[in-house]
A and B are shown apart, each in its own frame.
Chain A
Amino acid sequence: MEGIWMTVAFYLLAATILGSALLVVMLRNIVHSVLWLAVCFVAMAGLFLTLDADFLAAVQVLVYAGAVCIMVVFGIMLIQRGDMGSTNLFNSQTKAAAGVVALVLVVCGYLSATTQWVGTAVAVPEQTVENIADILLSKYVIPFEVAALLLLVALVGAIFLAKEVKADGHND
C-alpha cells in the first residue's frame, strides 16, 4: 500500500469517518446514530491499517464495532421503547456549542499547521503484535494490571448500578 493508493485510501476513510460521525450527531433517531457509529468505527479500523497498526485495527473492530456498539444498542433497547423517531435531539445550547467547537477547531488547526514535526523515516516494524506484547508485559505491566482491575471494577460497578431495585428500597 504505497503512494497514491495510500492517499486515496486515507481520503476515503477520512470521508467515511467524518461523514458517519456527522450522521451520528445529526440523526434524530438514536438507533440510526448507533448504526452509523458502527460504520465510523469500522472505517477507523481501516484508518489504523493505513497507519501500520494492524493489531489495533483488529481490536478496534472487536471492541468498538462489536462490543461497544452492541452494548449501546442493548442500552437503548432497555430504555427507549416505542417510537424511535425523535429520540436524539439537540438541546438549547446548540449554537453556543457550535461556537465552542469552532473555536476548538480553529485552535487545533492552527496548532497543527504551525507545529514543526520532526519526523523520522524509519518504518514501523512488521511484527506489531509481538512488539506490543513485549512492552505491554514488561515495561507497562503495571498499567496493564491496573487496566485489568479497572475492567473488573467497571464490571462489578455496572452490575451493581444497573441492578433492579426492589420496591422496599433495598437492592439485593
Chain B
Amino acid sequence: MVEFAMYHAWLVPLLPALAFLAIVFLTRPWPMLSALVAVAGIVGAFVVSAFAAYGVFTNPEFTEKPLVYAVRWFSMPGMQIDVGVQLDPVSAMMIFMVSMVASLIFIYAIGYMKGDPGFSVFFSYVSLFAASMLLLAISSNLLEMFVAWELVGLCSYLLIGFYSHKISAREAAKKAFITCRIADFGLLLGLLSLQIIFGTLNLVELSEKIAHFEQYTTFGVLTLIAVLVFIGPIGKSGQFPLHVWLPDAMEGPTPVSALIHAATMVVAGVYLVARTMFLFHEVPGAMELVAITGGFTALFAATIAVTQREIKRILAYSTVSQIGYMMLALGVGSMTASLFHMWTHAFFKALMFLGAGSVLHALHHKADVWEMGGLIKKMPITGWTFVIGGLAIAGIPPFAGFWSKDEILAVTLDSGHYVLFVMAAFTAFLTAFYMWRLIFLTFFGEENPENHPHESPPVMTLPLIGLAILSAVGGLVGTPWAPLWSEWIFYGHPHHAEPNYWVMIGSIVLAAAGIYLAYQLYCADKTKARAKALAERYNHIYTILYNKYYIDEIYLWFNHTIIDGAARLFYLFDIYVVDGIIVNGLGALTCLFGEGLRVSNTGRLQNYALVFFLGVLAVVVLLAFTGPSSASLTVGGVK
C-alpha cells in the first residue's frame, strides 16, 4: 500500500478533481450526495497522501534525492515541459497537511453550509481547490506549479465571490484575483527567465543547473530572477504591499476562509519559495528581501489587527502576520523553521477560523466582536477549542505555535538579524494581545442579551476538536529536544540549533504579557472604559491603524483615477484619432472626391452618350495614329 501510494501520488490531486467533475456533471441536484462525493474525494486523497508521506519519511534516501516521475506535457524544439510528481519530505508533508486539514474542513462545511442554495456548487469549488492545491504541492515542474498556482487563485476567486449577489463579495473576489495577478506577472517573468536561461523548468534539473551557474558571467541576473519569482509569493501569501486582498477575502464562506485563506493557499507562497530555495540560496540579496518583507509584514499586519472589530478580519490580519513570520524564517535561511510554522499555523489558524465560523453561524453572521461576549457558556466546545487555538498562536508551551514561533525567533537571532528579531519579538507580543483581545471580547465577559447563541451540530464541532488536538500536540514533532522535524525538512544540511533557553523564556514572557494586557483591558474591566480611553487618547494612531494605513484607499485611487483615466484616454484616442482622423478621415476624403465627381453623374442618358462618343473618338484617333497599322493606312484589296 505504501509502495502503491508513493508511485501513484498523482492520485492525490486526481481524486478531488474527479469529485469536482462528478459533482458538476452528475450529482449537482442532490446536495448531500455532492457533499459525500467531495468528502470521499478528499479523504481518499488524504489516505493516499498519508501512505505516501509514511513511505517518504521511512525511506531516508528520499530526503537526499526526491522521487520524481513525470510525463511529457508538451514540447517543441528548445522547450519541453513535463508534468509529474516530485515526492520528497517537503512535498509529502505538504500534501499530508493539506489533505488532512481539508478533510476536516470539508466535514465541517457540511454543517456550516447546510441549507445554502449553492451547497453542491460550493463542494465542487472546494474539491477543485483541493485538487489544485495538492497538485501545487506535488508538482515536479515550475510551470505545472504555476498552473496549479493560478488554479488555486481561480478557486479562491470563485469562493470569495461565492455570495456573488453581494457587491462586497463580488468586489473582494475581483480584488483578490487581480492583486494576485499582478504578483503572478512577476512570477511569470521569473519563470520565463529561468526557462530561457536554463532551458528547463524542472525543479530537479533547475537545482542542479543553478548550483553550477557561473555567477560571474551574468552578474545579478539570478538576483533579479529570484526577486521576480518572489513577487508571486508576495501576492499569493498576502505580504506587504500586496496584502490588501486577504482581509477582504473574508467575504467568502467561513470554511473557505479557514481552508484557503488561512491554512493552505496563502501559504503557497511560502511553499514556492521553499521549493525554489536552490535559487534563493544562491542570492543573498534576494534572501534579505524575503526576510525584510516577512519581518515587516508580520509587524505591520499585527498592528492593524490590534484595532479591527470584525472577527474574521482580525484573524485575516493575523494570518498575514503569521505568514510574515514564515517568510522571515525563509529569508534568514531556515526552511525548517518556516515550514514548521506553516505546519502548526495550518492547524491553529484553521481551528480559529472554524471557531469563528461556528460563532457566526450561531449569531447569524453578526461579525463585530464588540457585540459579542460570554459565548463560552452557550458554546463550550467552540469556545474552549478556540482558547486552545489562542494559546497556540500566542506561543504558550506546549501548544503547537510555541515551538515553531520559538524556532523562528531563534534562527533569526542566530543569523544576526537583530532588528528583525526585535520586530518579530514585538510581533509575538502583539499577536498574543490582539488574539486574546478577540477571545476575551467574544467568549468571556458579559453576554449580549440580543444574542441567542447555540452550540453548533457535531458535524461542525468534531472537526474543531480534531484541529484542537492537532493544535495542541502538532508542535511536538519539532521540539528542540526531539527534533524529528528538522531531520526531514531542511535545505542543504539538517541543522538543529541547540535549544536557546533565553529566547524561549523571552517569548513565553512576551506572550504572557500580551495575554495579560488583553485580560486587563478587555476582560477584567467590565466597562472596557480603559480600552476606549486608550483609543481616544491615541486617536490618530488608532484611526490610521483602524483604516489599515489607508493602503486600500491609495490603491483604489490609483485604480480608479490613474488606470481608468489612462484607459479612457486610450479609448478616446482610438475613437477620435485612430478611428476619427485616420480611418474615417480617409473615408471622408474618398467621399469628398465622390462629391466632386458626383456632378458628372447627371443620370441623363444623352450626357452619357455624349461622353461615350468622345471616348469612342479618342479610341479611334488613338488606333488610327498609333495603332499597329498606322504606318500604312491601306485598307482593302480583294484576295
Contact = CB atoms under 8 A, between A and B. Distances in A.
A31 B396 CA distance: 127
The range of chain B's interface size is 10 to 19
Interface stretch (A15-23, A81-89, A110-118, A123-131): A110-118
B561 interface: no
A118 B636 contact: yes
Given A111-B633, A115-B633, A118-B637, 4 more contacts: A93-B606, A100-B610, A104-B613, A119-B636
Interface in B485-517: none
15 contacts: A91-B606, A93-B606, A96-B610, A97-B606, A100-B613, A100-B614, A100-B617, A104-B613, A114-B633, A116-B633, A116-B635, A117-B636, A118-B635, A118-B637, A122-B638
Interface string B356-400: 000000000000000000000000000000000000000000000
A120 B635 CA distance: 12
Interface residues of A, number: 17
B636 to A, nearest CB: 4
A17 B607 CA distance: 27
Contacts of A115: 633-635
Contacts of B634: 115-116, 118
Contacts of A119: 636
Given A107-B621, A111-B624, A120 B638 contact: yes
Contact of B610 (A97, A111, A118, A122): A97
B620 interface: yes
Interface in A40-99: 91, 93, 96-97
A114 B631 CA distance: 12
Contacts of B617: 100, 103-104, 107
Contacts of A96: 610
A48 B355 CA distance: 122
Interface string B597-639: 0000000001100100110010011001000000001111110
A110 to B, nearest CB: 8
A111 to B, nearest CB: 6
Nearest to A117: B636
A122 B638 CA distance: 10
A18 B624 CA distance: 27
Contacts of B613: 100, 104
Nearest to A110: B624
Interface in B576-610: 606-607, 610
A96 B609 CA distance: 12
A117 B621 CA distance: 19
5 closest A-B pairs by CB: A118-B637, A118-B636, A116-B634, A120-B638, A117-B636
A110 B232 CA distance: 91
A93 B637 contact: no
A107 B636 CA distance: 20
A93 B611 CA distance: 11
A116 B631 CA distance: 12
Contacts of A122: 638
Contacts of A117: 635-636
B449 to A, nearest CB: 88
A118 B639 CA distance: 11
Nearest to B624: A111
Contacts of B635: 115-118
Contacts of A104: 613, 617
Given A107-B617, A107-B621, A93 B636 contact: no
Contacts of B606: 91, 93, 97
A88 to B, nearest CB: 14
Nearest to A101: B613
A118 B636 CA distance: 6
A123 to B, nearest CB: 13
Nearest to B616: A104
Contacts of B610: 93, 96-97, 100
B614 to A, nearest CB: 6
A28 B617 CA distance: 29
A93 B600 CA distance: 14
Residue of A91, A100, A115 contacting most chain B CB atoms (<10 Å): A100
Contacts of A93: 606-607, 610
